[in-house]
């Protein structure tokens, strides 16, 4: 059948459409952990992350959200009530990790968390993030 040419993520985007993602709400309701714990949103890597997200078109933003949370849908009441797979509120979390641990961002969809390596440049972050988000859609994982 025709639906077999789509993976589950593409099918969700086709059936539900691209969500309107309020970047200010997303940013305001994000927590920072790991290497970003002390500095939070003021860390260079975090600043680059949000700049890259702003540069993304609607589809790439939806795919990023899908990569980290397992769905491209935004709760009706916004990111403040984003739930984990256990039904409890689990805010979107950007968790900083040393770039030596792994090269590409990793997602923990149960916890709405992205492990983001400390990249040396914004261009490197953008390249690795785009690749991670698009490769997961094909069913491949990056190590």
Q: What is the DSSP string of 42-53?
A: GSHHHHHHHHHH
Strand-pair partners of 34:
96
The pLDDT confidence band at residue 138, using thresholds 50, 70 and 90, is very low
CA distance 20 to 23: 9
Residues with active-site annotation: 110
- Mean pLDDT of the residues in the chain: 86
CA distance 92 to 41: 13
Percent of the chain exceeding pLDDT 90 equals 64
The pLDDT confidence band at residue 116, using thresholds 50, 70 and 90, is very high
**What does the pLDDT read at residue 74?**
86
Closest by Cα among 138, 8, 1 to 72: 8
User: Tens of pLDDT along 47-78?
Assistant: 999 999 999 998 899 999 999 998 888 888 99
């Amino acid at each position: 059948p025709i639906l077999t040419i789509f993976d589950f993520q593409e099918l969700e985007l086709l059936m539900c459409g691209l969500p309107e993602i309020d970047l200010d709400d997303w940013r305001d309701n994000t927590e920072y952990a790991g290497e970003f714990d002390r500095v939070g949103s003021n860390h260079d890597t975090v600043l680059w992350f949000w700049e890259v997200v702003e540069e993304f078109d609607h589809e790439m933003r939806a795919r990023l959200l899908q990569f980290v949370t397992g769905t491209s849908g935004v709760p009706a009441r916004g990111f403040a009530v984003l739930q984990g797979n256990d039904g409890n509120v689990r805010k979107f979390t950007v968790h900083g990790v040393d770039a030596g641990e792994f090269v590409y961002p990793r997602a923990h969809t149960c916890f709405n968390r992205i492990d983001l390596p400390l990249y040396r440049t914004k261009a490197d972050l953008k390249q690795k993030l785009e690749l991670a988000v698009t490769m997961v859609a094909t069913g491949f994982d990056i190590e």
